[in-house]
Structure 1
Amino acid sequence: MTEREKEILDLIRRNPMISQQDLADTLGITRSSAAVHITNLVKKGFIAGKGYILKEADYVAVIGGANIDIQGFVPKPLILKDSNPGYVRISLGGVGRNIAENLVKLDIQTKLFSAIGDDVYGKKLLEESRGSGIDMDYCLMLQNTSTSTYLSILDHDGDMAVAVSHMDIFDNFSVDYLKSHGPILNNAQLIVLDTNIPQPSIEFVTTQFKDRLFFLDTVSTSKAIKVKEIIGAFHTIKPNRYEAEALSGISIDSKLDAEKACYYFLNKGVQQVFISMGKEGICYGNHQHIRFLAAPEAAVVNATGAGDAFMAGLVFSFLQEYSLEQSVRFAMAASTLAISHENTIHPMMSVHSVQNIMKELK
């Protein structure tokens, strides 16, 4: 590859929709010269097909939240309306971003589509996420906008007691932004979506790229409602019992209720359902059967990243063509590993570590 071809390939990686004229103007060459270089790159196999789709390794696209997590931990029972002794940690967060980092640790190439402000927190997010291996080249960078921040207080059991989310930046996560990255999204192995992004953007993605498979993280009851009318567009969903109630209209007070909710989603067109019942375990199923996996006994240090690790485990399992039972066990093991460390993302998350925990699950 010539130096000029490297320059052109770099520009196309940054903007797959760039025109030949824009390439020429940027490099100070004629449009006809740009066309010749592109033809040579196609012949050499660096560009596949029209629209400057770059030939590269398989990857997963994650569309969703990226933010800074500020977490307060208290060693004793929380006292409301009072100052509680404890300690505070600042780390990278966001459902989509957390899923993406877990996927990278599971050796899956991952591209994140999110919105980040051009501020101190935004720069920290960008640099450290790239350092972890996430492809951040397609994130929306916004001037004069605060990076999303999530402030939470965890009780002495490691469970979230209360939280405040400042996520106004995602109001700018537009359909036009997603259109500009259409070729990249359309060539992903599958797309993971979380409901932090606006409803019109969710609906656009699931309609425009309907040939892709979608995995859904519902995030919260209030945000899950965004997908209530299009739930059948998703191949795999992972709500907790409260999010499943909001989406199905079925009160879930028992295992039987959870099974009814699973049937509801499957009848809507979902292919795989995993309803988290907290410490009771997971009710899961597909069109062949619905079953229940009890939660293993495990010391909880920080439960915040459990769901993100579980979703990453489901994606990994699907790409490995695991059975439904293998999938839920691998995802449960990933979740169990996640909660055993104070960081939202366990630093030792890996396929090997998860498989070791799988051996211990009954």
Structure 2
Amino acid sequence: MSEILCIGSVLWDIIGRSASHMRQGSDVPGRITRLPGGVALNIAMTLARFGLRPVLLSAVGRDREGDELVEACRGLGMETAHLYRSDDLPTDIYMAVEGANGLIAAIADAHSLEAAGDKILRPLTEGPLGSLIAPYEGIIALDGNLTRALLEAIALSPAFAAADLRVAPASPGKAERLQPLLMAGRATLYVNLEEAGILCQSDFADTESAAAGLLARGARRVLVTDGGRAATEADASAQFTQVPPKVLVTRVTGAGDTFMAAHIAAERAGADRAASLSDALRAAARYVPGETPL
């Protein structure tokens, strides 16, 4: 089965990028682009490039921006039939500014996704994808743009009991929302070092100690990244740590989503745990210099 459900933010990314180092108050030349984005959609785009069929579950407005976004998603090979299309909620937007020294600032306006709540999950709870008595049994990629209350409901819902649940926070500012899924021990968590520290309310020197800390707090399985430094994948039975290839970083928005999607695709293709981690790190390394599209 090539179908993978991607649940979370599907929106427009407005990204300003400059080759200059930036700080607060900088005014520099660069490029501003509008692209389909959001954690769930970024993951889905990478999955589609690996020949898988991503199915989107999210909230998209019935405004012009929403119609354009849905059409773009279809053109990229995604199933959009199960999107919740709202008449009164606008299509969400993410805005970021990136310089040569990384992400400078970002604002995620995902209020429509949060307002839609459990309406986006109806295809999993009331059919046709699954139900409370016949839960979906495939892979689900879930992002932390959902409200904490909805993530807690997912952690406990029988509709998700049979799924291979893969979860990533939308940003460090939303990492704490994943606490219910961490404590339930029903998901594989993809986090960076900062997000791991937030979830554990601790500071970690490296991804190995962060992975151990997350497992100690109840996580079933974790993948912890730290930019260009060593990344770790671990569960109760084994731990793998690898250093990503050294590359020139020209963009960072979407790199973690690319890593997660590439890891899912590698495991879906039958690669072992060490090889899957290597494939994911290479995919992210190809993305940040701009070698692969988002």
> Does the aligned pair in 1 maintain the 2:59–2:120 contact within 8 Å?
no
Residue 309 of structure 1: which of 258, 262, 266 is its match?
258
Q: Report the Cα distance in structure 2 between the residues aligned to 1:175 and 1:145, rounded to whole angstroms.
A: 15
> Does the aligned pair in 2 maintain the 1:63–1:193 contact within 8 Å?
yes
- 1:29 equivalent in structure 2: none
- 1:69 equivalent in structure 2: 13
- 1:240 equivalent in structure 2: 192
- Please state if 1:162 is matched with 2:111: no
RMSD of Structure 2 on Structure 1 (CA): 2.0
Higher relative contact order at CA 8 Å, sep ≥6: structure 1 or structure 2?
2
- 2:27 equivalent in structure 1: 83
Q: Report the Cα distance in structure 1 between the residues aligned to 2:187 and 2:122, rounded to whole angstroms.
A: 22
Q: Indicate the structure with greater strand content.
A: 2
Q: Report the Cα distance in structure 1 between the residues aligned to 2:94 and 2:71, rounded to whole angstroms.
A: 19
Q: Report the Cα distance in structure 1 between the residues aligned to 2:200 and 2:23, rounded to whole angstroms.
A: 35
- Cα 1:113–1:244 change in 2 (3 A) is same
- Please state if 1:127 is matched with 2:71: yes
How many residues are paired up? 285
Q: CA deviation at 1:229?
A: 3.3
TM-score normalised by the chain length of structure 1: 0.73
Counterpart code for 2:185: A
Which of the pair has more CA radius of gyration?
Answer: 1
SS at match of 1:224: helix
Q: Indicate the structure with greater helix content.
A: 1
Mapping of 1:169-318 within 5 angstroms? 169-182=112-125, 183=127, 184-185=129-130, 186-206=135-155, 207-208=157-158, 209-231=160-182, 232-252=184-204, 254-255=205-206, 258-318=207-267
Q: Report the Cα distance in structure 2 between the residues aligned to 1:335 and 1:244, rounded to whole angstroms.
A: 19
Runs of 5+ in structure 2 lacking a partner? Answer: none
SS at match of 1:260: helix
Mapping of 1:85-104 within 5 angstroms? 85-104=29-48
Q: Report the Cα distance in structure 1 between the residues aligned to 2:202 and 2:250, rounded to whole angstroms.
A: 32
Q: CA deviation at 1:83?
A: 2.9
TM-score normalised by the chain length of structure 2: 0.89
Q: Report the Cα distance in structure 1 between the residues aligned to 2:280 and 2:33, rounded to whole angstroms.
A: 26
- Cα 1:90–1:177 change in 2 (3 A) is closer
> Does the aligned pair in 1 maintain the 2:124–2:136 contact within 8 Å?
no
Counterpart code for 1:228: Q
Q: Report the Cα distance in structure 2 between the residues aligned to 1:305 and 1:122, rounded to whole angstroms.
A: 20
Counterpart code for 1:248: C
Q: Report the Cα distance in structure 2 between the residues aligned to 1:295 and 1:177, rounded to whole angstroms.
A: 36
Q: Report the Cα distance in structure 1 between the residues aligned to 2:250 and 2:209, rounded to whole angstroms.
A: 32
1:122-149: per-residue Cα shift (whole Å, max 9, x none)?
Answer: 1121000110001011111111322111
1:311-343: per-residue Cα shift (whole Å, max 9, x none)?
Answer: 11121122223221011001111111211218x
